[in-house]
Amino acid sequence: MSEKLPEVLFVCIHNAGRSQMAAAFLAQVGGSGVVVRSAGTAPAESINPAVIKAMAELDIDLLSSGATPKRLEDAAVEASDVVITMGCGDECPFYPGTRYLDWKLDDPAGQGVAAVRPIRDEILRRVQELWAELSAAAS
């Protein structure tokens, strides 16, 4: 009998920066032990090029992984155990029983790689803390 994997949804406005980085990091550290999604309330057409470069510096290729901005759907929120918002405000749907966290992070939109690196590094730190908590709860 298998236990249900934790499901985490990362949400930002454009799903082109912060939520994409967070999802990629959690997929990397959590591997097959977690279901990871990301979405945006007003998705961009493509992922921020500076974010792609900053993640490539850590050997994470967002383009080859198939990451693309996606619209936030109620079903994704409802299916998630944890929803982490990053600047989408009141546009995120709320479901009782779902855990919500709001990560206050600078928006990498329109920024160069040098400005994205500290945002990326802070997201990585928070994702590692989240994964430690999720994996401890599953034990």
Active site residues: 12, 88, 92
The string of DSSP codes covering 23-49 is HHHHHHHHGGG-EEEEEESS--SS--H
* Residue 72, both tokens: 């936030």
Contact of 105 with 124, CB cutoff 8 Å: no
- Computed from CA positions of residues 39, 40, 42, 47, in that sequence, does the dihedral angle turn out positive or negative? negative
* Helix, strand, or coil (residue 106): coil
Q: State phi, psi for 85 to the nearest 5 degrees.
A: -100, 150
Q: Strand 99-102 vs strand 82-85: parallel, antiparallel, or unpaired?
A: parallel
Amino acid, res. 98: T
